Amino acid sequence: MEDTIKIEDIIKPENIVFEKTSCLTDNVLSYCPGCGHGVAHRITMEVVEEMGIQDQTIGIAPVGCSVLAYDFMNIDMQQAAHGRAPAVATGLKRVYPNKFVFTYQGDGDLAAIGTAETIHACNRGENIVIIFINNGIYGMTGGQMAPTTLPGMKSSTTPYGRNAAMMGHPIKITELVAHLPGTCYVTRQAVHTPGAVRKAKKAIRKAFENQKLNKGLSFVEIVSNCNSGWKMTPVDSNNWMVENMFPYYPMGDIKDE
Amino acid sequence: MAKVRGAVVIDTEKCKGCDLCVVACPTSVLLLAKEVNGKGYNYSYMENPDSCTGCMNCAMVCPDSVITVYRLKPQKSAVEA
Amino acid sequence: MKELRLMKGNEAIAEAAIRCGVDAYYGYPITPQSEVMEYLTAEEPYKTTGMVVLQAESEIASIHMVHGAAGGGKKSMTSSSSPGISLMTEGISYLAGSEIPCLIVNVQRGGPGLGTIQPGQADYFQATKGGGHGDYRLIVLAPASVQEMADFVDLSFELAFKYRNPALILSDGAIGQMMEKVYLPEQKERLTDEEVAQKYGDWATIGKSPNKERNILTSLELQSERQEKHNFHLQAKYKKIEENEIRYEKINCENADYMLVAYGMSARICQKVIQLGKEKGINIGLIRPITLWPFPSQVIKESANNVKGILTVEMSAGQMVEDVRLAVEGKVPVEHYGRFGGMIPSPDEVLNALEQKLIGK
Ligand SMILES: Cc1ncc(C[n+]2csc(CCOP(=O)(O)OP(=O)(O)O)c2C)c(N)n1
Ligand code: SF4
Ligand code: SF4
Ligand code: SF4
């Protein structure tokens, strides 16, 4: 009878269908409970493991909540100054064209202080992968307005909501870089549901495969939550994200060449 | 009821009690404990282990990669059933 | 055999970079040093030695590109002039903090602000005392000829890799633009990826091989105790550099009654001042610091025992003079003579200044 199967019979090494990838270290992530950064880290490292490229991959960590990405990603890494990761990645990739180089950046890092580095790395078609975590806010410094903060959205520097007339509109940098001939693959994903995670991972896999084929720059945006900055529970923040972020930042591929 | 059987093991000390796995589980296996772990988080655990199919949904959304998922191979469970 | 050529200082830097087996140059145009990248893009070393040459979107990008490539253990460099170096100071601080060896060339122009495109030496403070944030030091070499522009490229990399520290060549628009004879070094092979892995595999980010700890290059350490420890480590390294790498030239110092201290272009002018002094019966010597950091304080201090006064000559309002005064500890008067904003002092002016400021006293 089915009821006779004991849990101990199931929990055996040969029955493992999912475990943490060895391309993540055993360090406890420094992220808040429920933060999308963790899943984005994991699926990136799962792709590295599945492609068997751990020994050829170098990651560039940004300034932001993921500044310590190198504590969690079990690969060689450089920590870049705020916004400069695409330049660091460019320099490295140019002298090691056969290695895999990626940046992992937040929206403040990538779309505010590092806009020039982002646009020009994309425009040159650097053979790298950019993973862009868009949580609509500056997480690390305490929830200030980001270039991606939605109109009306409250943050610690827009306590009455972002006033677009005064502070400008949220920047859709992903659509922007899709216009540049140097990008070969530009997509927007999320990691809030199992289905979304599987899709996002496929996108990251494709981005790394593109790099292998020297196709140019692959840009994977992940719309994510910042429950601390948004002052919500993780579950509520994911719901809020679907209701408010997705209409402005629609999911799916923007460019795939 | 030739249902696939699965189970999860949660590293309760590293769990941050974010509740995302609980919401993601299609068969309501998981719940957050009333007790807290060493870090003060209400960790996730299998409240209804019999319902687990080993679908991995919980592990997919777990930001802290603290869930390991086990599943009996279908033929194996058929034999044992 | 070394090849002899007539070249601009800026071109000599570029040619020497190719010949020293440099792996990558990242830069952004600015007068008076644009010839460096122009020369490199015309020579196309990517077709011969395999050296990467890339024009970046800004000096900020260039220095961080250097960060990336140099972080991979490759010989990487950039060059610029004063306003561009100001933009680079962010990256320089990170490079110093992460202990990444590389070369930065500053062909100085007059400032502040956009200043002038004419030569200057007003970036001495920036080069030797920081410029960027935090307690760090750069190894700073000051060429006074086109020959030294070429020679110091290799020397800079040697020192940079020896100490895992960024090196800076502090030149000026006059040396950069001037044409002189130069003996070029013989072509060195670039290191292969395998050689880089062998030499620098203990720190360079080149991919974590299974049997090796991974390499992380970061300047961040959130735990204060550990960040302080890192700073102690840096300071110990800087002390070692100070003990071992001071370089200077002494000219006519034997029986000098007055001493000039000057570097780069100003040092060349001072050589003429020595001659003019002789004609007037004034015995003048010159100490030319070749390393501005570490600074040759000891030799300057010792010289103070034998002279009546010291005059520093700089194309600035007086920056290096502070270090000379510190070295001399008040034993003899130390005065400064400078022209700035793009002006170059003439030997007559300098001699005049020496007579007025030191002998007239
Ligand atoms: C030059 C510089 N300016 C400002 C900061 C402070 N700072 C650290 S993280 C950050 C914002 C990061 O936000 P984002 O990129 O959106 O990443 P998140 O923290 O949300 O993941 C800022 C402004 C800095 N470290 N360096
Ligand atoms: S502050 Fe926001 S982005 Fe940063 S770890 Fe917390 S939830 Fe994530
Ligand atoms: S594996 Fe599937 S069924 Fe089992 S707990 Fe996780 S989500 Fe629920
Ligand atoms: S998703 Fe992970 S961290 Fe969050 S409650 Fe579940 S097991 Fe714990």
The answer to whether C70 contacts A58, with C-beta atoms less than 8 Å apart, is no
CATH topology of domain A30-256: Rossmann fold (3.40.50)
Give per-residue pLDDT as tens, A229-249: 999 999 999 999 999 999 999
CA C220, C223, C226, C227 dihedral sign is: positive
Tell me the pLDDT band of C1, cut-offs 50, 70 and 90. Answer: low
Right CATH for B5-72 from 3.30.70.20, 3.40.470.10, 3.40.50.2300, 3.20.20.70? 3.30.70.20
Residue C107 β-bridge partners: C171
d(CA C245, CA A250): 59
Predicted confidence (pLDDT) at residue C273 exceeds the cutoff of 80: yes
Give per-residue pLDDT as tens, C230-264: 999 999 999 999 999 999 999 999 999 999 999 99
What's the rounded mean pLDDT across residues A212-221? 98
What's the rounded mean pLDDT across residues A99-113? 98
Q: What is the ipTM of this complex?
A: 0.96
Tell me the pLDDT band of B74, cut-offs 50, 70 and 90. Answer: low
The minimal CB distance from A91 to the residues C67, C94, C206 is found for: C67
- Which residue in A71, A92, A128, A180 has the most chain C C-beta atoms within 10 A of its own C-beta, making it the best mutation to test that interface? A92
A168 touches chain B (CB under 8 A): no
CB-based contact C356:C279 (threshold 8 Å): no
Tell me the pLDDT band of C209, cut-offs 50, 70 and 90. Answer: confident
Predicted confidence (pLDDT) at residue C175 exceeds the cutoff of 80: yes
- The rounded Cα A139 to chain-centroid distance in angstroms is 14
Of residues B65, B28, B57, the one with CA closest to residue B45: B28
C246 touches chain A (CB under 8 A): no
d(CA A125, CA A113): 20
What's the rounded mean pLDDT across residues C314-343? 97
Q: Which residue of A has its CA nearest to C222?
A: A68
Q: What is the pTM of this model?
A: 0.96
Q: Which residue of A has its CA nearest to C220?
A: A79
C209 touches chain A (CB under 8 A): yes
Q: Rounded mean pLDDT of chain C?
A: 97
Predicted confidence (pLDDT) at residue B1 exceeds the cutoff of 50: no
What's the rounded mean pLDDT across residues C28-49? 98
Domains of chain C and CATH, by start? 3-193 (3.40.50.970), 248-359 (3.40.50.920)
Q: Which residue of A has its CA nearest to B15?
A: A33
The minimal CB distance from B72 to the residues A1, A10, A21 is found for: A10
What lies within 8 Å, CB to CB, of C94 at 6+ separation is A80, A81, C64, C67, C219
Question: Where are chain A's structural domains?
Answer: 30-256
Give per-residue pLDDT as tens, B30-63: 999 999 999 999 999 999 999 999 999 999 999 9
Ligand 2 contact, A92 CB (< 6 A): no
Chain A residues within an 8 Å CB radius of B80: 4-5, 9
The minimal CB distance from A5 to the residues B18, B65, B77 is found for: B77
d(CA C293, CA B35): 60
Neighbours of A163 (CB within 10 A): 11
Tell me the pLDDT band of C130, cut-offs 50, 70 and 90. Answer: confident
